[in-house]
Amino acid sequence: MIKKLAKVIGIAGGAAAVLWAMRDRFVSVAISREPEAPTFRATPTEQPDLSIDTVDGIGPVFAGRLQEAGLDNVYKLAAASPDKVAEAAGVSGARARSWIEQAEALH
């Protein structure tokens, strides 16, 4: 009976030793499956020389309309949706997208 008990303890101890030795492998696999932390896009420092009328096709009339909608510089224009720009300025969606693309290229 003591021999059987010693054999069971030996097997259990061996299994525990194998698991203990492989614990780093299990932990490293689990860590690699964790999702990456979210990254946030930093907004650039606004510069006063990049006013909305620096975009080609935006003159004083369209600039005034966009400023009334809160789009008073290139950075805000680049971050705006085409629908918002089109509605604020009273232009087509294609023209609004063009302005947004130009604003993105400027900053």
CATH number, domain with residue 68:
1.10.150.20
The answer on 62 and 17 residing in a single domain is no
pTM for this prediction: 0.55
pLDDT for 48 equals 54
The answer on 61 and 89 residing in a single domain is yes
The parent domain of residue 14 ranges over: 2-32
Whether residue 47 is contained in a domain is answered as no
pLDDT for 80 equals 94
Whether residue 38 is contained in a domain is answered as no
pLDDT for 19 equals 80
pLDDT by residue for the chain (107 residues), tens digit each? Answer: 888 888 889 999 888 888 877 776 665 555 556 667 777 766 655 555 588 989 999 999 999 999 999 998 999 999 999 999 999 999 999 999 999 999 999 87
From residue 13, how far is each of 10, 20, 26, 63 by CA, in Å? 5, 10, 19, 78
26 CB-contact burial (10 Å; exposed 0-12 / middle 13-18 / buried 19+): exposed
